[in-house]
């Protein structure tokens, strides 16, 4: 366990110099929130940005040839993978809080009211979006060099999301009982976003462990 914590700390130090970029995202998200008629999309912007930001750890790893450092440290490959997913989850939670605060600020200053259901739906789906991005991208980054896969890695979650939305729209009747259920049980929207996201992350983490175990440093 202590090595997983050390691995999380190491990931933090690897990303540390990039954290200032978050300020740019705050401004970007605020700008979009002010310009759009639908400020809660701030949450989508931040979740997609956060997922890509976490991917940059692999870019720094590659650029600085950190395979040598990881090859020398008394640290198991499984611990590296688990540590990275936990660190990502922690950053994701912080970014989620930031997204909520920014959205509420923009809604307040623009004097826009949205229902609790809509707010929770946006938040829940942005959590799910973040988790899907990470779940699809991380195994690819653990398998291939970041520079070779960076563009390709963005495609699968985007394609999955588009397919999901299209299916949903084309089969609205099929989904209507589900929507009714969620209107009556709004707390379940939270659960579905968080639980489905965590399940995706768990499977992705297992897959990454298998992939990284066989990767030469």
Applying CB under 8 A, the residues found at the interface with other proteins are: 2-3, 5-6, 9-10, 13-14, 16-17, 60, 64-69, 71-76, 216-217
Q: Provide, rounded to whole angstroms, the least separation between the CB of residue 1 and other proteins.
A: 12
Q: Provide, rounded to whole angstroms, the least separation between the CB of residue 147 and other proteins.
A: 16
Q: Provide, rounded to whole angstroms, the least separation between the CB of residue 76 and other proteins.
A: 6
- Other beta carbons within 10 angstroms of residue 124's beta carbon come to 22
Whichever of 3 and 186 has its CB closer to other proteins, that residue is: 3
Residues 6 or more apart whose Cβ sits within 8 Å of residue 41: 32, 33, 122
Whichever of 130 and 141 has its CB closer to other proteins, that residue is: 141
Q: Provide, rounded to whole angstroms, the least separation between the CB of residue 144 and other proteins.
A: 17
Q: How far apart are CA 76 and CA 72, in angstroms?
A: 11
Is the Cβ–Cβ distance between 77 and 4 less than 8 Å? no
Element containing residue 93 per DSSP (H, E):
helix 77-109
Whichever of 1 and 151 has its CB closer to other proteins, that residue is: 1
Q: How far apart are CA 151 and CA 148, in angstroms?
A: 8
**Helices 146-170 & 116-143 angle (0-180, nearest 10):** 140
Whichever of 9 and 110 has its CB closer to other proteins, that residue is: 9
């Amino acid at each position: 366990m202590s090595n997983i914590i050390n691995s999380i700390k190491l990931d933090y130090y690897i990303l540390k110099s990039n954290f200032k970029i978050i300020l740019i995202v705050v401004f970007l998200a605020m700008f979009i929130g002010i310009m759009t008629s639908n400020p809660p999309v701030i949450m989508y912007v931040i979740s997609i940005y956060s997922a890509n930001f976490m991917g940059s750890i692999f870019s720094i790893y590659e650029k600085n040839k950190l395979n040598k450092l990881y090859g020398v440290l008394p640290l198991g490959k499984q611990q590296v993978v688990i540590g990275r997913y936990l660190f990502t989850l922690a950053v994701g939670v912080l970014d989620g809080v930031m997204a909520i605060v920014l959205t509420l600020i923009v809604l307040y200053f623009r004097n826009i009211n949205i229902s609790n259901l809509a707010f929770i739906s946006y938040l829940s789906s942005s959590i799910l979006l973040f988790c899907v991005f990470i779940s699809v991208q991380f195994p690819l980054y653990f398998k291939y060099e970041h520079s070779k896969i960076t563009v390709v890695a963005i495609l699968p979650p985007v394609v999955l999301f588009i397919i999901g939305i299209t299916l949903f729209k084309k089969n609205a009747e099929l989904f209507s009982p589900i929507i009714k259920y969620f209107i009556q049980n709004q707390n379940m929207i939270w659960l579905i976003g968080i639980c489905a996201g965590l399940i995706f992350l768990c499977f992705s983490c297992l897959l990454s462990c298998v992939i990284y175990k066989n990767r030469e440093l």
